Amino acid sequence: MTLTTELKEEFKDLYDKVKLCYQCGTCAGGCPVFKQYSSFNPRRVMEKLLAGDISAEIFDEQQIWYCTGCYTCSTRCPQGIDICHVINDMKNIAVKIKNAPPGIITEMTAILETGITAAKSTSALRKRDKLELPEIPPPDMTEIQKLMEVTGVIAKLNALKEDAK
Amino acid sequence: MSKYAFFVGCTIPYRVPFIETSLRKTLPIFDVELVDLPFACCPDPGGVQAFDSVAWHTLGARNLCLAEEEGLDILTACSGCFESLKIINTHLKNDPDLKSKVNEHLKDVDREFKGTIKINHFAEFLYTEIGIDKIAQKVTNPLSGIKIASHNGCHFLKPTDIMQVDNPELPQKLDHLLEALGAETVPYLNKLACCGAGTRTTDMDAALKIAHEKIVGAELANADALVTVCPTCYVSYDIGQRLMTKHFEKTTLPVFFYAELLGLAIGLDFSAGFKMHTIKVQEVLDKLTA
């Protein structure tokens, strides 16, 4: 897959954010995911960005979606690179080129339909009753849906769902 | 009584509602009144932020607007909600371009982010606003005789420049909060480790392996229980231990949310909620009354 001009611009922003990286590997050393699943290596992700790999291959791979978002790498990077946030930016680009795990689509759909991510299951509601907990005021769904529309979430979600077919 | 907008989130009310009970019962004892507002998802710092950063800021700003309109600071007990709301609040206060972009979207729902409120996490709030001494004074049933492995989790502390709660590499406030209840805290292997929840949507097995390391560390230190201040971490370890049996030998380390132990120590009865834990906690309760 080739990147559009707009995405190439975003890619350049990413390069600027990581250009101070000297590949020491502190990020990988502290990464809780890398410890258990060595295919996800934040140092390698940085290496690819530094190499200026704009073939979109790094966004096509599922690897970046393994980042758990713990910010350990960002906390420890001796060059002060916010690696965790850079990977989040990469995920934003991955969504634009329609590469997102099914779990994300499910979650965004849940928010679009109910405003929240956790299902109000019968068993959950029964537990709330038993604990004599009050009803939580529901969010105004027209507002939530409007905001998801104007920020382009609905269009992106539809594109992903279409692609998944 | 000081009033706060209670940001209960998604996980607490519909996955682990007994944690909500522990909060609604303990906080008023410290003169905190919780006000429920029609908030939506914070939104999730993992999924929604990964999907679209501007949408994440906008949906989060809508929640902030609801509290601003009531003139209330937010109090949350979910570290994910704390992270999202605090980052979004900070970014919008400091980045005029982002703020105008977000406010442009909010106009469509007749709202405007102004930047007038503060976001609090209940554990940080207890430590800084209530104070260790005041908490210790309320303790009627000290939690003596049990060893606790405290788990701060990631989003309570990081990203550090914004959260500014504690030292992410050597956090101590949670241990002090536990010691105020008369409990003994133990140092243990993998104390700083992440619960792995962020990887769940991508690969459940990898997430469970990450979470398992923590259980091993706490067991090696002979901890009687693991204590969290985040409902997502709680789920990773309590319900997670049952799922981990797919890969590892069965473990039965009881997991508590801090407010549950706070309630126990100040004499509240949470027995209905304790029955809803996946890993049985009776052994710990017996040790406390022995």
Residues of chain A with CATH 1.10.1060.10: 5-96
Reduced to 3 states (helix: H, G, I; strand: E, B; else coil), residue B186 is: coil
Percent of chain B whose predicted confidence (pLDDT) is above 90: 98
- Is A91 in Cβ contact with B36 (below 8 Å)? no
Amino acid at A165: K
Which ranges of B113-257 would DSSP assign to H, the alpha helix? Answer: 122-125, 132-138, 160-163, 173-179, 204-220, 231-244
pTM, two decimal places: 0.97
Per the CB < 8 A criterion, the answer to whether B59 and B66 are in contact is: no
B140-289 and B2-121 share a CATH fold: no
* Size of chain A in residues: 165
B35–A contact, CB cutoff 8 A: no
Q: What percent of chain A has pLDDT over 90?
A: 73
Q: Which residue has the higher pLDDT, B87 or A13?
A: B87
pLDDT for B212 equals 97
Chain A residue closest to B10 (CA)? A118
Structure-derived torsion over alpha carbons of residues A125, A131, A132, A133, reported in degrees to the nearest 10: -60
A139: nearest Cα among B34, B82, B10: B10
Mean pLDDT, each 10-residue run in order, chain B (290 residues): 96 97 98 98 96 98 98 98 98 98 98 98 98 98 97 97 96 98 97 95 94 97 98 98 96 98 97 97 92
Residues in chain B: 290
Per-residue pLDDT tens digits for B194-232? 999 999 988 999 999 999 999 999 999 999 999 999 999
What is the fold of A5-96?
A: Fumarate Reductase Iron-sulfur Protein; Chain B, domain 2 (1.10.1060)
Which CATH number describes the domain made up of B140-289? 3.40.50.11810
CB atoms within 10 A of CB A38: 10
Query: How far apart are alpha carbons A116 and B11 in whole angstroms?
Result: 9
**pLDDT for A1 beyond 60:** no
pLDDT band for position A51 (cuts 50, 70, 90): confident
Query: Nearest by CB to B209, which of A36, A85, A119?
Result: A36
B189 to A29, B42, B132, B196, B220: CA distances (angstroms)? 16, 32, 26, 16, 8
Q: Supply angle C-alpha A75, B97, B121, rounded to 5.
A: 45
Residue B90 is predicted with a pLDDT of 98
Partnered with residue B225 across adjacent β-strands are B148
- Spell out which residues of chain B touch residue A41, defining contact as CB-CB under 8 Å: none
Distance CA A127, CA A110 (A): 21
Fold of B2-121: Glutathione S-transferase Yfyf (Class Pi); Chain A, domain 2 (1.20.1050)
Nearest-neighbour CA in chain A from B170: distance (Å): 12
Per the CB < 8 Å rule, is A140 touching B38?
A: yes
In this prediction, residue A3 carries a pLDDT of: 66
Residue A7's pLDDT band (boundaries 50, 70, 90)? Answer: confident
What is the residue whose two structure tokens read 């009803």?
A135
Answer yes or no: do A153 and B207 touch at CB < 8 A.
no
Pick the residue of A85, A98, A107, A145 with the most B CBs within 10 A to test the interface with B by mutation: A107
